[in-house]
């Protein structure tokens, strides 16, 4: 055992220290060669652990007003004390911690302290810049502090000032770009991406902006930038895959564009066989282009490499359906349903196959099964309702349209279509009031088809003999900037029923001035001429009707022949390639 010889009164700075505290009737001591900040008080304390010592005596001499605790030499177990020999040779200072009992020092809110400190620094920097002027260094420091405080918008404002000072800095624009992306400020992101291209017109910059446009579905701009990427480096699989995907979704000049999409997607796969998006898109493009054999072939290649790819198998089933290979399609769907028996999408596809096979009851059964496994899928109710409507099962169609609309999960445009179809079903069961109301609702929900729906509403009002309402509706639809000439023809019919022949004739003249090949228009005007007693004009218009009908038939035949030839060419090319 080792023992102390004497102690001295503690002073402000200690080289070595022995700490003591009386806890539970015992004194606890700890000796250390070094000091550390106490985690609660922040004072300098020894860093080793304590041990209890029960055999220590004290005497308390008073020197002025200073109380000094002196340790009487006594044997001391050296459990915690290091370098006891040094202590004997060179007595050290002893610091006694007070017996705090239940007293606890308040906890320091370090996060609050950090934020307040950062805010004070921001204030100091702001004042300094007001006094001495803005600099990049100070603005960067303030922006960093704003970010620490999660004041991202203020950080962006600091970067705005920095970029004004250094407009050609790529680094600062990149930093602001990241902040704008995190705040979903897409207009600002686009501005920064374009500015970075001006500063650094590299492949990396064009690819970044192309992907931005791609994610925002800015098709024209994305295709332009992906094309630039391909010009800079023709071996970027991602650029071909994404440009092909966008081309596949483009409707204008579809035949030409689909060929370009196929070319891009094939190139992407050639450069990187793991481009799953390109593989799947290629099947879709083949399907949309009517190249069903190619769709089957490509889907089969994917399935042979990855037998559990549901997308490839599902699209192969759809391609088989288009080729009228129903058994093969049903086999693929059975495999898919074996792995996912609760998939309403696969069941609906099976219903579509039975529909094309003219097996009406089986198709209805499959639609109802799809609803049973997924009763919240409004689209399935819609598919069934349309099928029932086409098969003149109006009452059941009405119930399914109503259920689809009750679920309220459809886009407003699709809701508009469903309301119009519901209106037709209501019309055929004789619910004319409901029919007119639903056509009006359809027009509200789908403005792009509003004219058509309102014309049908007018027809229903005419059937109900609500002629004044019909005329008011047609009057509201007459707008030279946005209207269809059919409004004049519909209003003329109402005027004819009401016996207002002059008004009916004026509307038909306006209609036929533009619609010169409308046979029904000439026939209606012939009726008006007869009612007016002008048989010669009536005969002339009947002849005009015959000629217009012939022209229309010829035009339609040419259009059909053109599309049939195009379809045949596509199928022949498809067969030759497979």
pLDDT tens string 220-241:
999 999 999 999 999 999 999 9
Which one, of 190, 125, 193, 192, lies nearest residue 163 by Cα? Answer: 192
Contacts of 201 (CB under 8 A, 6+ apart): none
Residue 62 burial (10 A CB sphere; 0-12, 13-18, 19+): exposed
Q: Give bridge partners of residue 44 from the DSSP assignment.
A: 37
Which one, of 178, 174, 175, 182, lies nearest residue 202 by Cα? Answer: 174
User: Comparing 90 with 280, which gets the higher pLDDT?
Assistant: 280
Give the chain's length: 578
Q: Is the pLDDT of residue 32 over 50?
A: no
- Mean pLDDT score of the chain: 83
Q: Is the pLDDT of residue 279 over 50?
A: yes
Q: Is the pLDDT of residue 201 over 80?
A: yes
Q: Is the pLDDT of residue 254 over 70?
A: no
Asked if residues 186 and 179 have their Cβ atoms less than 8 Å apart, the reply is no
pLDDT tens string 121-141:
999 999 999 999 999 999 999
Run of H or E residues at 30: strand 26-32
- pLDDT cut 70: percent of the chain above it: 80
> How many whole angstroms from its chain centre is CA 46?
58
Please, which pLDDT band fits residue 257 given cuts at 50, 70 and 90?
Answer: low
Give the tokens for residue 57: 């005596």
pLDDT tens string 426-473:
999 999 999 999 999 999 999 999 999 999 999 999 999 999 999 999
- Average the pLDDT over 245-257 and give the result: 69
Please give the angle made by the CA atoms of 314, 318 and 322, to the nearest 5 degrees: 165
Give the tokens for residue 243: 């440009």
pLDDT on residue 174: 94
First-to-last C-alpha distance (Å) of the chain: 97
Q: Is the pLDDT of residue 185 over 60?
A: yes
pLDDT on residue 233: 96
Q: Is the pLDDT of residue 18 over 70?
A: no
Which range (27-31, 173-177, 181-185, 562-566) has the least confidence? 27-31
Which one, of 289, 292, 334, 290, lies nearest residue 313 by Cα? Answer: 334
| CB atoms inside a 10 Å sphere around CB 501 | 17
Q: At what angle do helices 276-288 and 310-322 cross, to 10 degrees?
A: 10
Please, which pLDDT band fits residue 277 given cuts at 50, 70 and 90?
Answer: confident
pLDDT tens string 525-562:
999 999 999 999 999 999 999 999 999 999 999 998 98
Which one, of 543, 542, 562, lies nearest residue 554 by Cα? Answer: 562
Q: Is the pLDDT of residue 499 over 50?
A: yes
User: Pseudo-torsion of CA 152, 158, 164, 169, nearest 10°?
Assistant: -70
Q: Is the pLDDT of residue 346 over 90?
A: yes
Please, which pLDDT band fits residue 289 given cuts at 50, 70 and 90?
Answer: confident
Q: Is the pLDDT of residue 99 over 70?
A: no
Please, which pLDDT band fits residue 249 given cuts at 50, 70 and 90?
Answer: confident
Which one, of 261, 242, 241, lies nearest residue 251 by Cα? Answer: 261
Which range (84-88, 288-292, 334-338, 411-415) has the least confidence? 84-88
Run of H or E residues at 288: helix 276-288
For 451-472, give the secondary structure using H, E and C: HHHHHHHHHHHHHCCCHHHHHH
- Whole-Å CA distances, 222 to 174, 206, 210, 242, 270: 20, 10, 5, 9, 22
pTM: 0.65
Asked if residues 314 and 349 have their Cβ atoms less than 8 Å apart, the reply is yes
Please, which pLDDT band fits residue 77 given cuts at 50, 70 and 90?
Answer: very low
State the residue for tokens 């679920």.
407
């Amino acid at each position: 055992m080792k023992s102390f010889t004497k102690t001295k009164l503690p002073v402000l700075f200690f080289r070595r220290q022995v700490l003591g505290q009386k806890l539970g009737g015992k004194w606890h001591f700890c000796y250390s060669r070094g000091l550390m900040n106490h985690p609660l008080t922040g004072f300098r304390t020894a860093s080793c652990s304590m041990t209890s010592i029960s055999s220590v005596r004290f005497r308390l001499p008073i020197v002025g007003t200073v109380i000094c605790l002196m340790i009487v030499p006594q044997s001391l177990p050296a459990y915690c004390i290091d370098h006891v020999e040094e202590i004997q040779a060179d007595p050290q200072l002893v610091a006694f911690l007070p017996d705090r009992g239940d007293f606890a020092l308040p906890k320091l809110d370090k996060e609050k302290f950090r934020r307040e400190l950062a805010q004070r620094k921001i204030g100091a920097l702001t004042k300094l810049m007001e006094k001495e002027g803005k600099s990049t260094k100070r603005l960067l420091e303030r922006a960093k502090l704003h970010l620490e405080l999660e004041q991202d918008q203020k950080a962006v404002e600091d970067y705005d000032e920095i970029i004004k000072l250094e407009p050609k800095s790529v680094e600062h624009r990149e930093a602001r770009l990241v902040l704008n992306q995190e705040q979903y400020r897409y207009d600002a992101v686009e501005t920064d991406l374009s500015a970075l291209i001006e500063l650094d017109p590299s492949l990396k910059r064009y690819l970044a902006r192309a992907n931005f446009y791609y994610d925002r579905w800015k098709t024209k701009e994305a295709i332009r930038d992906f094309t630039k990427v391909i010009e800079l480096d023709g071996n970027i699989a991602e650029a071909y895959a994404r440009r092909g995907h966008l081309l596949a979704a483009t409707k204008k000049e579809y035949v030409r564009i689909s060929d370009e999409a196929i070319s891009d997607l094939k190139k992407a796969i050639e450069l990187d066989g793991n481009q799953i998006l390109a593989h799947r898109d290629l099947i879709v493009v083949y399907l949309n282009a009517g190249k069903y054999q190619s769709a089957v072939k490509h889907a089969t290649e994917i399935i042979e490499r990855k037998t559990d790819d549901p997308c490839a198998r599902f699209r192969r089933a759809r391609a088989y359906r288009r080729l009228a290979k129903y058994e093969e399609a049903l086999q693929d769907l059975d495999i898919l349903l074996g792995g996912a028996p609760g998939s309403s999408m696969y069941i609906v596809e099976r219903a579509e196959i039975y529909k094309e096979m003219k097996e009406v009851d089986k198709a209805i059964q499959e639609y109802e099964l799809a609803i049973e496994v997924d009763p919240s899928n409004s689209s399935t109710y819609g598919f069934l309702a349309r099928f029932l409507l086409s098969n003149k099962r109006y009452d059941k169609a009405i119930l399914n349209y109503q259920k689809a609309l009750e679920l309220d999960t459809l886009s407003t445009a699709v809701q508009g279509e469903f309301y119009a179809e519901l209106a037709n079903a209501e019309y055929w069961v004789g619910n004319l009031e409901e029919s007119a109301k639903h056509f009006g609702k359809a027009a509200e929900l789908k403005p792009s088809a509003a004219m058509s729906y309102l014309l049908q509403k007018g027809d229903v009002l005419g059937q109900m003999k609500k002629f004044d309402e019909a005329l008011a509706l047609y009057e509201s639809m007459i707008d030279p900037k946005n209207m269809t000439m059919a409004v004049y023809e519909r209003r003329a019919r109402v005027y004819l029923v009401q016996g207002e022949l002059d008004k009916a004739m004026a509307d038909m003249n306006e209609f036929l001035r533009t619609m010169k090949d409308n046979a029904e228009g000439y026939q209606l005007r012939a009726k008006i001429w007869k009612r007016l007693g002008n048989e010669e004009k009536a005969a002339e218009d009947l002849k005009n009707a015959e000629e217009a009908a012939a022209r229309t038939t010829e035009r339609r035949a040419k259009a059909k022949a053109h599309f049939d030839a195009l379809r045949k060419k596509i199928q022949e090319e498809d067969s030759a390639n497979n």
